[in-house]
Chain A
Amino acid sequence: MRIPFQRFPTVFVRLTGRNGCLREYRALVSPATEYCILPKVDAYRLGYPEAARDEPVTEPPNLFRGVTFNGYWEGMLISVKEVAIGGVSRTNVDFIAFDLPQVATFDVILGRSFLNPSRLAIDYAGNEIRIGETEEKR
C-alpha cells in the first residue's frame, strides 16, 4: 500500500473500540515512538473508562510512564480492539491515552505497538509511505 504525504508522514487510521464505536484520525507515523497515542477523551468514547485516572493517590495498574525530549510524562495504557490502515489491521493494539498539545495538530501517533511487525518505508524523496504486512501476518 502506497500512501502519499506532504510535510509529515501521515495516514488516516481507523480505531474500533471495545464498545463498537469507530473513530478515524489523521495520524502521525512515528517509528521512534514506542506506543501509539490517542486523546483521553476519545479513549473514553471508544469504551475505555480506564483511560481516566480518577484516583490521585494510588497508582492504577495501567498507569504508564515514558520519556520525551521534554522530560517524563505519564498516561494510561489501554488495548484498542482493532486498528486499521486500509487492509493493514491489528487487533488489541496498545495505546497510551495521552493528550498531545493541540498545536501539534495531531490527535494520534502511530508508534511501534502498531507498526511492528509491518513492513514500513517512509520515502521523503518520493513523499510516500509504503506499508504492508509481513509474510507471517498475511
Chain B
Amino acid sequence: MPASSPETREATFEQIKKEHPNLWVAVTVTKRDENGQPVAGKVVADDADRYRLRDQIIMHNDICIFFAGEPLYPLFL
C-alpha cells in the first residue's frame, strides 16, 4: 500500500494505475462520470495476487476491483 493511509485519500483511476502498477486493487468509488463509470476512489487494498486481495476486502459489501495495468501477454480468450 502507498504511504498514505488507505481509505483516506481520493485519487483518480489514472493516478491509481500509476501508483499501483501491475497490481490488483480494490477501491471504494467516490466519483463517477456521466455514464456511471467510476473515475475516482479510495484504495482499500492492493496485491499482486487477486485471491489475497479478496482476503483483505471480505468485509466490504460494495467495492470495485480491477487490475492496474494491461495484460503482459497477447490474449486468446
- Chain B proximity of A116: nearest CB distance (Å): 18
**Complexed CA–CA distance, A102 and B69 (Å):** 12
- Give the size range of B's interface with the partner: 20 to 34
Interface centre among B29, B51, B73, B77 (most CB of A within 10 A): B77
| In contact, A105 and B70 (Cβ under 8 angstroms) | yes
Interface residues of B (CB under 8 A from A): 29, 35-38, 49-51, 54, 58, 61-67, 69-73, 75-77
- Chain B proximity of A127: nearest CB distance (Å): 14
A7, A39, A69: the one contacting B50 at CB < 8 Å is A39
- For this complex, 14 residue pairs linking A to B, each with C-beta atoms less than 8 Å apart, are A8-B75, A22-B61, A22-B62, A23-B63, A23-B65, A24-B65, A45-B54, A84-B36, A85-B35, A86-B36, A102-B49, A103-B72, A104-B75, A105-B69
B38, B49, B58: the one contacting A12 at CB < 8 Å is B38
Which residues of chain A come closer than 8 Å to B66, judged between CB atoms? 12, 25-26, 107
Q: Number of A residues whose C-beta is below 8 Å from B?
A: 37
Which residues of chain A come closer than 8 Å to B65, judged between CB atoms? 23-26, 107
Which residues of chain B come closer than 8 Å to A87, judged between CB atoms? 35-36
Which residues of chain B come closer than 8 Å to A28, judged between CB atoms? 77
| In contact, B77 and A30 (Cβ under 8 angstroms) | yes
Please encode chain A, from 63 to 104, with 1 for each CB lying within 8 Å of some chain B CB and 0 for all others: 000001110000000000000111100000000000010111
**Complexed CA–CA distance, A123 and B38 (Å):** 21
| In contact, A41 and B51 (Cβ under 8 angstroms) | yes
- Chain B proximity of A31: nearest CB distance (Å): 12
- Chain B proximity of A93: nearest CB distance (Å): 17
Which residues of chain B come closer than 8 Å to A104, judged between CB atoms? 71, 75, 77
